[in-house]
Amino acid sequence: MQKEFYTMLLKKITYLIFALLPLLSVAQKKDTAPLDLEDYILVKTGDTLTINLDELTILPKHDFNSPTDARYYYWFKRKVFKAYPFAKTASQRLDSLNSRLKRIKTKRGKIKYTKRAQKYLEGEFTDQLKKMTRTEGRILIKLIYRQTGKTAFNNIKTLRSGWKAFWYNTTANLFKLSLKSEYHPESINEDYLIEDVLQRAFIDERLVEKKSKLTIDFPKIAAAKKGRIDVEEYKMMFAKNKKKTSKKNNKR
């Protein structure tokens, strides 16, 4: 009796397997070759297993002299957050413009396209730039250099008349700043603060990064600074502004 039961069970299992085979052959998806063979590592007996992980950047903890210094840093941080999207967009537009100009063969065509691009950029940026403070304008000029690899002045020089009118009118005259400002986070304190804000924002995914045209080894720079934050120039700036306001009020 027991032998007959097992024989019957075996027949049902065999029948089930043959019944499912056509379905399995239809349901199977064809394997495709990996897009990047470097992601696969052959491990032989005795080898060490290697796993590729995303790069992780660890920056030193901020070292503030006082809670007041921390407040000034976060004030500055808001300025960088406001300016960076403009610099990123300007860089994208500039890359697009340069790419298009390379494909235009005639001088007349280049001039016509540059003027058209100038009008578009003026409409896109001018009103928003006028709402910026002088500090935000200065940060923007530095970030233009970071994102394009050239100063605002040299960008104007390259693109000539249209951009010249745009940048001088909306940036230099508005902010009374130098369009020849460069970006050196390894040696200029303000540039270091800008880069510190950006790198931490990229890590925290609070800003979307567009790769800089400059080579910046910020972890090395930050390690040398040991997280120290110097905001004295902004404290002095506000102290001067306060004195000017006080004098004006006294004259009234």
pLDDT, tens digit, 9 for 90 and up, residues 225-245: 999 999 999 999 988 888 877
pTM: 0.72
Q: How many percent of the chain have pLDDT more than 90?
A: 36
Amino acid identity of residue 93, one-letter, is R
Round to the nearest angstrom and report the end-to-end CA distance of the chain. 116
| Residue 175 confidence (pLDDT) above 50 | yes
Residue bearing the bigger pLDDT, 244 or 27: 244
**C-alpha angle with apex 177: 173 to 179, nearest 5 degrees?**
95
pLDDT, residue 112, reads: 83
- What is the rounded average pLDDT of the residues 59-70? 93
Neighbours of 126 (CB within 10 A): 13
What is the rounded average pLDDT for all residues in the chain? 77
Confidence of residue 218 (pLDDT cuts 50, 70, 90): very high
Please calculate the CA angle 154-237-87 and round it to the nearest 5 degrees.
30
SS3 228: strand
CA angle at 136 for the pair 147 and 221, rounded to the nearest 5°: 55
CB 60 within 8 A of CB 227: yes
pLDDT tens column, 73-108: 999 999 999 999 999 988 888 888 878 888 888 988
Q: Is the pLDDT of residue 53 over 60?
A: no
Task: Report yes or no: 45 and 165 within 8 Å, Cβ to Cβ.
Answer: no
